Structure 1
Amino acid sequence: MTAAPVKLALGDQAPDFDLPTAGGGRVSLSELRGAPALLWFYPAANTSLCTKQACDLRDNHQMFLDAGYRVVGISPDPIAELDRFVEKQELPYTLAGDESHQVMEAYGAWGEKNMYGKKVQGTIRSTFAIDAEGILTFVKYRVGTPKHIALLQEKLGL
């Protein structure tokens, strides 16, 4: 029997993490402290919906920078795949790989989902905003890709 999936809420402490990133670095929650961050969890680099979401964030990246946000995308992809994704789509923000999906589980962004009528375990497309102290200021599970940027603009006051 598996435990019930985590569901984080506004005001919760963001779960700690430390992950490898495209380009050979690492990113951690402690490193992000001191400024707001936007974490977005997505199923797979170089797939149509994930590429659309990544490019929407790329095309609006300056808006997040202007508000002080650091953008970090997290997927279960190996780093080599993330490197290809960054290069191919010219992504200006950090992409991190969570192959064990431990971080995704801690955020409630990994669990049962319905794919083409079948129940499977996988990444639940989710977005979180974290303030400078590591507190969640925005939580959205099952993000709709076409409205992602408009939702963030509204909820984060961008």
Structure 2
Amino acid sequence: GALGGGAGGLAAWQAGERDPAHPLLRRYLTPWPRLAAGEALAGLATAAVDISDGLLADLGHILEHSGGGAHLEPEALPLAEGLVAALGEEGARQAALTGGDDYELLVCLPAERLDEARHRLAVLELPLTVVGQLTRSSGVSGVPAAQRTGWQHFRGATPGGTP
């Protein structure tokens, strides 16, 4: 699914937007956790987490447990409707990487299972977008260190929240 909608919706709310039909505000105020998608990918995915604290922060949880790293392709990130118009291209990419409250799934799949996973999600009318790959080396590459923030509970977004 698309990313950055939660952060974009929060920004819209803070700017005074109250129209419940606003696409970003709708994403923020009425998130839709991807429970059916998680069930559909059972047996295929080797790891999965919902993106509640931001893609980078939640990827960090997977990497912490796997002992590996990841290479991300930020230009491949699917952006929420209206996000670029609201935040600009750079702000939209940052919201997609670090904004919380998206509740989309971040899943790890072997390459040979990708077509089957897409087929299972197509039945639910959900896309599956490859945004990077796991690596044996630690840390995250493909994203400048200055952009690596994530939601830190009780402190807000702070630098260094992820590997």
TM score, norm. by length of structure 2: 0.28
Q: Pick the structure with greater CA Rg.
A: 2
